[in-house]
């Protein structure tokens, strides 16, 4: 009796890329055993138990033979559970419990011990890697729509290993008309990374933000120009509410950007993904987030929050509470729009063109500078230490600093309805289009040196004012550039071709909160 070799196409995820994997299963006579070779990581070794259990519980026999699975190409490190289904089918084919049809069919999915097919992260890039010579890709029912976004081969959804075995013959799986009662032991769907309540919650309208004209204006400028923004103020003044309006203020992504955002969301295991992500990302990780979760990494090079915020906004509430290392990790990506991750001798670059918007209290208790003064019990050194948690280099990347004072109840009921998100979003979209139409083709926050000077034609009076402001602040060249970039955006919002004195003055006002904060540091 000779052995049988079955070959099943599948794919694995590495970072944001899917990689084609040929799962070769050799079922040979000899002492029963089950070995996986071909640079499979330790997590993948656990697949043996899932595959064994799934085969038995799906009503097949786990063959008492010597089973060797080779994952090719052998020099590519494989992780994750996406190969489970292909390995199980390889064993069923190799032990002749299932016969293959004529069409090349690929399989992607994790198996439960009970034989259910579970969703895996990265279905979009993995299916995209399977286009060559594959007629059909079988995935879990939960990710059928996500898999179709990749284009290319036909997608078949299956709920169980038994249904997948039907699909291997090129047949559409027949559904059992009477659903079998299924006992589940806790653990349902795979959780999509750390719970991020803000991102999932409904997006409030800007009209819900009462008072806070300075902060509303600063947010409009920040989103129009892509500028870093820091909101400071005591708890309860609406910093978080204001930030939560951001998704409703950003223009939708074009086709190419939407596909890039969808691939990142897929690789990060976000779900469910049923259509291209048209809305610019808004990520709001909790301040307890780890370095790896912020930057990306882990065995399968999972994209971090800064990559998941690519082309959108990274909102850091309670900025001073984040780990120092986590905040420092933002510097390079903020400058370069990408992050380089080195792991196990492999270097990968992820996009990270996010805009930083942050909020923090003015002191540890949160009430410094607000009335009545007596509510804050923090002493000067404590306030200073608190402010210092946001380091100089990170401060340099924040163009707008906005204090949010307590709003009196009188001003909450005064005046009419504030402007809503639709009107403000329209102005932001126009200003961004104006900036992107310039020769540099970038948002104003990314203008540097010559490109910045070309973009900012100053009126005579404005040139004079810029010199005055620079001297008053003893601003470094860098400080002056930040001022100019924000003034350019303010002029764009006001439909002014040249940057005027008023634009510079307003930009300087949005720096004054930082100047006060820096003063606190110096004293």
Q: Which residues bind Zn ion (CB under 5 A)?
A: 363, 365, 368, 376, 378
* Whether the Cβ atoms of residue 423 and residue 455 lie closer than 8 Å to each other: no
Q: Given the complex with Zn ion, which of 141 and 517 has the nearer CB atom?
A: 517
Angle between helices 460-473 and 477-493 (to 10 degrees): 140
What's the min distance (Å) between Cβ of 362 and Zn ion?
7
Report d(CA 75, CA 87) in Å as an integer: 19
> What's the token pair of residue 455?
């973009």
Report d(CA 402, CA 214) in Å as an integer: 7
What's the min distance (Å) between Cβ of 324 and Zn ion?
21
Query: Which residue in 123, 13, 158 sits closest to 79, CA to CA?
Result: 13
Could you give the dihedral angle defined by the CA atoms of residues 390, 395, 398 and 403, in that order, rounded to the nearest 10 degrees?
A: 60
Q: Given the complex with Zn ion, which of 62 and 367 has the nearer CB atom?
A: 367
Q: Given the complex with Zn ion, which of 21 and 378 has the nearer CB atom?
A: 378
In angstroms, the Cα distances linking 451 to 198, 411, 508 are 36, 42, 21
Q: Which residues pair with 287 in a beta bridge?
A: none
Report d(CA 122, CA 262) in Å as an integer: 10
Q: Given the complex with Zn ion, which of 184 and 374 has the nearer CB atom?
A: 374
> What's the token pair of residue 377?
């019990």
3-state secondary structure of 474: coil
* Whether the Cβ atoms of residue 6 and residue 90 lie closer than 8 Å to each other: yes
Angle between helices 477-493 and 213-225 (to 10 degrees): 100
* Whether the Cβ atoms of residue 49 and residue 55 lie closer than 8 Å to each other: no
Query: What letters, b where the CB count within 10 A reaches 16 and e where it falls short, cover 298-320?
Result: eebbbbbbbbbbbbbbbbbbbbb
459: how many CB neighbours lie within 10 A of its CB? 16
Reading phi first (left if > 0) and then psi (alpha if -120 to 50, else beta), residue 241 is in: alpha
What's the min distance (Å) between Cβ of 206 and Zn ion?
29
* Whether the Cβ atoms of residue 110 and residue 117 lie closer than 8 Å to each other: yes
What's the min distance (Å) between Cβ of 378 and Zn ion?
3
Report d(CA 303, CA 127) in Å as an integer: 18
3-state secondary structure of 139: strand
Half-sphere exposure of 466 (CA within 13 A, CB side): 24
Judge residue 348's burial from the number of C-beta atoms within 10 Å of its C-beta, 0-12 exposed, 13-18 middle, 19 or more buried.
Answer: middle
What's the min distance (Å) between Cβ of 523 and Zn ion?
16
């Amino acid at each position: 009796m000779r052995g049988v070799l079955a070959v099943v196409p599948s794919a694995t995820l590495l970072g944001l890329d899917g990689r084609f994997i040929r799962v070769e299963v050799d079922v040979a006579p000899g002492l029963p055993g089950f070995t996986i070779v071909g640079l499979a990581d330790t997590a993948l070794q656990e697949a043996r138990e899932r595959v064994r259990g799934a085969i038995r519980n799906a009503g097949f026999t786990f063959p008492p033979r010597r089973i060797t699975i080779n994952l090719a190409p052998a020099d590519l490190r494989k992780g994750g559970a996406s190969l489970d289904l292909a390995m199980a089918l390889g064993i069923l084919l190799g032990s002749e419990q299932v016969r293959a049809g004529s069409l090349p069919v690929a399989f992607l999915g994790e198996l439960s011990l009970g034989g259910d097919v579970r969703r895996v992260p990265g279905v979009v890039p993995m299916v995209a890697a399977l286009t060559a010579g594959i007629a059909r890709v079988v995935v879990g029912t939960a990710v059928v729509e996500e898999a179709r976004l990749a284009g290319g081969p036909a997608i078949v959804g299956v709920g169980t290993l038994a249904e997948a075995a039907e699909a291997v013959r090129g047949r559409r799986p027949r559904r059992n008309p009477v659903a079998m009662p299924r006992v589940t032991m806790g653990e349902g769907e795979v959780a999509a990374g750390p719970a991020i309540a803000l991102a999932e919650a409904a997006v409030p309208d800007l009209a819900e933000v009462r008072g806070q004209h300075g902060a509303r204006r600063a947010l409009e400028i920040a989103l129009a120009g892509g500028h870093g923004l820091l909101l400071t103020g005591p708890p309860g003044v609406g910093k978080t509410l204001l930030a939560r309006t951001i998704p409703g203020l950003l223009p939708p992504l074009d086709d190419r950007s939407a596909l890039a955002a969808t691939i990142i969301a897929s690789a990060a295991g976000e779900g469910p993904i049923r259509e291209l992500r048209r809305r610019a990302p808004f990520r709001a990780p909790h301040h307890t987030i780890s370095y790896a979760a912020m930057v990306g990494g882990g065995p399968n090079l999972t994209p971090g929050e800064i990559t998941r915020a690519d082309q959108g906004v990274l909102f850091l509430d309670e900025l001073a509470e984040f780990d120092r290392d986590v905040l420092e990790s933002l510097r390079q990506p903020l400058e370069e729009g990408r992050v380089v991750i080195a792991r196990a001798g492999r270097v990968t670059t992820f996009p990270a063109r996010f805009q930083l918007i942050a909020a923090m209290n003015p002191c540890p208790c949160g009430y410094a500078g607000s009335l009545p003064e007596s509510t804050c019990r923090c002493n000067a050194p404590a306030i200073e230490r608190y402010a210092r948690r946001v380091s100089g280099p990170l401060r340099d990347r924040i163009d707008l600093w906005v204090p949010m004072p307590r709003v009196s109840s009188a001003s909450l009921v005064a005046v009419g309805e504030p402007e809503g998100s639709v009107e403000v979003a329209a102005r932001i979209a126009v200003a961004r289009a104006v900036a992107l139409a310039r020769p540099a083709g970038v948002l104003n926050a990314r203008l540097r040196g010559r490109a910045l000077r070309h973009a900012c034609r100053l009126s005579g009076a404005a040139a004079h004012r810029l010199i005055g402001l620079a001297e008053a602040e003893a601003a470094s060249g860098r400080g002056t550039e930040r001022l100019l970039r924000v003034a350019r955006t303010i002029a764009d919002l006001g439909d002014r071709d040249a940057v005027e004195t008023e634009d510079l003055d307003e930009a300087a006002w949005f720096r004054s909160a930082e100047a006060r904060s820096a003063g606190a540091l110096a004293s």
